[in-house]
Amino acid sequence: MLDRKFIVENAEQVKQNCASRGVEADVDRFVELEGRRRKLQLEIDELNREANQVSNSIGKAKDEAQREARKEQGRRLRQQVAEAKAELDRVGGELDAIHRAIPNLSHPDAPVGAGEAANLELFRGKTPPPEFAFPPLDHVQIGEKLGLVDLEGGARVAGHGFYFLKNEAVLLELALHTTRSTRSSAKDSPPPPPRTWRETRSSKASGSSPAVRRRRSTASRTAT
């Protein structure tokens, strides 16, 4: 995911990259919202600073009338902070949605276009591709046919391109993790940490609460 500052400072390059990759993302709206987000954050910081000053000055009031006036001023400032934070959350939500749609930059040498005709074949290995007497299946078709992957469940929980492993594929992944941990321990290296959710939307779709989400070990692209 591209850095927000990079997108703002290189908006034209990012828009061209989106067009080259056939991705629809409102980069101009992103730049506008990012400016609004920064302005709101500065406004909230200033309001909090003023509210703290007013709060600290209440005990120094000369009389009851001045004390009540400062309390009322503090309440107004807190209300303004709450309204600004609500607007910041709204802007942040729209901003994040656009941010997720913006792809990373393609390599300068990558061909532009869709389909085989727009892609360059750089070289072939020494071994020629095998020929089959039957229509070959790709890894996704094989996985679904053998009941090893759940694409629909993964997409529903974490979005397009994610999946759950099932049945023997789960045992195979566990075996790979065990082998890796065993070899790491033999080399006095700590075993790798478990993978965890990185997106709130995924946690909500899986039925996890924020508190439980921090303790639950799951996979980002190969959840078991």
SS (H, E, C) the chain: CCCHHHHHHCHHHHHHHHHHCCCCCCHHHHHHHHHHHHHHHHHHHHHHHHHHHHHHHHCCCCCHHHHHHHHHHHHHHHHHHHHHHHHHHHHHHHHHHHHHHCCCCCCCCCCCCCCHHHCCCCCCCCCCCCCCCCCCCCHHHHHHHCCCEEHHHHHHHHCCCCCEECCHHHHHHHHHHHHHHHHHHHCCCCCCCCCCCCCHHHHHHCCCCHHHHCCCCCCCCCEC
Q: How many CA atoms lie within 13 A of 83 on its CB side?
A: 7
**Residues 139, 13: Cα–Cα separation, whole Å:** 35
With bands split at pLDDT 50, 70 and 90, how would you rate the model's confidence at 112? confident
What does pTM read for this prediction? 0.57
Tokens of 70: 């400062």
**CATH number among 1.10.10.410, 1.10.287.40, 1.10.150.120, 2.60.34.10, domain 4-101:** 1.10.287.40
What is the rounded CA–CA span in Å between residue 40 and residue 139?
48
Looking at the DSSP bridge assignments, the partners of residue 165 are 149
- What is d(CA 64, CA 164) in angstroms, rounded to the nearest whole number? 65
Task: Pull the structure tokens for residue 11.
Answer: 């908006």
Mean pLDDT score of the chain: 84
- Between CA 52 and CA 74 the distance in angstroms is 8
pLDDT at 108: 84
pLDDT of residue 17: 92
Residue 106, C-beta contacts closer than 8 angstroms, at least 6 positions apart: 17, 20, 21
147: left (phi over 0), alpha (psi -120 to 50) or beta: left
Phi, psi dihedral angles at 113 (to 5 degrees) = 140, 175
pLDDT exceeds cutoff 60 at 210: no
Question: Who has greater pLDDT, 12 or 180?
Answer: 12
Dihedral sign for Cα 35, 36, 37, 40, please. Answer: positive
pLDDT digits (tens, 9 = 90+) for 35-90: 999 999 999 999 999 999 989 888 888 888 888 898 999 999 999 999 999 999 99
pLDDT over 90 at 102, yes or no? yes
Query: How is the chain split into domains, by residue range?
Result: 4-101, 139-213
The residue-averaged pLDDT of 169-193 equals: 82
Give me the amino acid identity at 161.
G
Q: Which residue has the higher pLDDT, 121 or 165?
A: 165
